[in-house]
Structure 1
Amino acid sequence: MGNGNYVSLSLATALERSMDLAAHNMANASTAGYKSTQALFESIEPEGGDPDMATSYVQDNGTYTDMSQGALIATGNPLDIALTGEGWLSYQTEGGATAYGRDGRLTVNADGQLATLSGAPVLNRAGNPITLPQALGQQIIFTQDGTITDLEGGVLGQIGIFRLPDVNQLVPMGNGLYLSGEDLGEVIPETDTRLSQGFIEQSNVRPILEMTRLMDIQRAYERASKLMTDENDLTKQAIQRLGNVV
């Protein structure tokens, strides 16, 4: 297989990964607090090659999380919260692990715990679920630092807001939640992020741009495939002509 085929193959592989990520972003465009994921690629040249005949290939260097702020939408629901800043909420998964996310659409479950709509309890700064008196219902107040009080100012708890050293180490698990990777680093309380009650943060995915990117990726993939087909056809023709000469 010629260099042209290798170049086209590396490009097609990179484009396929980009298409998967763009489709995943589109699927989560309406997921509250979702942060889009983008691919990282690099152009590389093989070692030991002729500098006058340099050939560049596409190398997959992983992904990164776009941490730009999603728009805040007012809901009027006292159990809806949104974060402004780089902080993350923490949740308890069914298996007892700690997950992170920014989905602030909350409810009170049957055990009186503050939880997401998918059932994951929200954790306080100490990493424990937050239990509220059943009689309060939705009559609670969230302050900007996550403190929860009743209507008379009595403190009921505090939602944990955390700073993650490397958000690119998070592993998505669905429902807007992420598990920490091995190299996440030390998670510490975040003090600069502000919490707003009665709002939810929308996904930072821009559907029109993602759809345009999907179409561009598809066209580029088709071009890369055609280049491989054309080079194979030229190779076949060359072999046939050489055979006729002999």
Structure 2
Amino acid sequence: MIRALYTSATGMNAQTTNLDNTAHNLANVNTTGYKKGEVSFQDLLYYNQQTPGGVVAQGLQSPIGIQIGSGTRVSGITKIFTPGAIINTQNPLDIAIEGEGFFQVLLPNGEVRYTRDGSFRINAQGSLVTSDGFLVSPQITIPPQAVSITIGSDGTVSVQNAGALNTTTVVGQLTLVRFQNPAGLSAEGRNLFAETAASGPPIISVPGQNGTGFTRQGFLERSNVDVVSELINLITSQRAYEFNTRAIRTADNMLAATTELVR
């Protein structure tokens, strides 16, 4: 009976983490390029009162065992990189990735991060940056006399300058990065991911090559969170939590009954 108290407590802790993850997914339902997290569970150690296949008599083996589990725990939260809906913004600096890949972003300390958020801007120096002001890598500078910007599906960035509207000038090339295991990336906030030993090294290529997607100017990728699925998961987590609390209450009542017997 005492064991049931601790076992149910592990279930409550696991469902609390599941609820936290669901709340985070729902909070980011409108976050550009956000990828939802999915919680995985695994059972804990077992108390073996009788091992399956153990000898119960001379020449006889038990076909089953007596194994009592000690609960559950969260084994991981996996980022699901299925594509989100692509919406038309008609902003020439908004770029969506149609397929796999990440944009490279350069932090002020020189470190590189990766993002699916293509809502770019131009800073005072004419460089292409994120909404936080981080430089897009490789760096692309738009000349001040540019009157229009065109970004091709292969990431080629070209402009038309004032006084030479019939001439197109290429000013840079966007590249995309793939990872062998994108779920192994570390989420850093601000729609940024960092490389880890689990993700593998970045594979840099031109959009549309080596398994990367194409770039789409004037579009943004929405979050891949399915609100209906998250609400169902929310209800399931709540009910599982309630069942574990009920198990604790039942174990407590049984202990109370045992105490009464002693009296």
TM-based fold match above 0.5: yes
Counterpart in the other structure of 1:20: 20
Q: Which amino acid aligns with 1:76?
A: Q
Counterpart in the other structure of 1:46: 46
- 1:234–1:72 Cα change, 3 Å: same
Contact 1:43 1:58 in 2 (8 A): yes
1:116 to 112, 130, 134: 130
Contact 2:32 2:222 in 1 (8 A): yes
Q: Deviations over 1:175-218 (max 9, x none)?
A: 21122224331101242311111100000011222123112212
- 1:55–1:163 Cα change, 3 Å: same
1:136 aligns with 2:149: no
1:105 aligns with 2:114: no
Q: Which amino acid aligns with 1:10?
A: T
SS of structure 2 residue aligned to 1:122: strand
Contact 1:88 1:164 in 2 (8 A): no
Cα deviation, residue 44, structure 1? 4.6
Cα deviation, residue 47, structure 1? 5.8
User: Whose strand proportion is higher, 1 or 2?
Assistant: 2
Contact 2:80 2:183 in 1 (8 A): no
Counterpart in the other structure of 1:201: 221
1:82 aligns with 2:96: yes
Contact 1:90 1:101 in 2 (8 A): yes
Contact 1:45 1:54 in 2 (8 A): no
SS of structure 2 residue aligned to 1:134: coil
Cα deviation, residue 143, structure 1? 1.1
1:146 aligns with 2:155: yes
1:211 to 191, 206, 231: 231
CA distance in 2, matches of 1:146, 1:82: 11
CA distance in 1, matches of 2:218, 2:127: 19
Which TM-score applies when normalising by structure 2?
A: 0.83
CA distance in 1, matches of 2:183, 2:5: 32
Cα deviation, residue 26, structure 1? 0.9
Structure 1 residues 216-225 or 51-60, which shifts more? 51-60
SS of structure 2 residue aligned to 1:55: strand
CA distance in 2, matches of 1:186, 1:142: 27
Which TM-score applies when normalising by structure 1?
A: 0.89
The list of structure 1 runs, each at least 4 consecutive aligned residues, that deviate by more than 4 angstroms after superposition, is none
Cα deviation, residue 97, structure 1? 1.6
Structure possessing the higher radius of gyration over alpha carbons = 2
- 1:28–1:94 Cα change, 3 Å: farther
1:186 aligns with 2:206: no
Q: State the aligned residue count.
A: 238
Counterpart in the other structure of 2:261: 241
SS of structure 2 residue aligned to 1:54: strand
2:250 to 230, 234, 239: 230
Q: Which amino acid aligns with 1:4?
A: A
CA distance in 2, matches of 1:60, 1:216: 16
Contact 1:148 1:159 in 2 (8 A): yes
Percent identity (aligned) = 30
SS of structure 2 residue aligned to 1:231: helix
Is there any run of 5+ residues in structure 1 with no aligned partner, and where?
none
1:169 to 180, 184, 187: 184
Q: Provide the alpha-carbon RMSD of the alignment.
A: 1.9
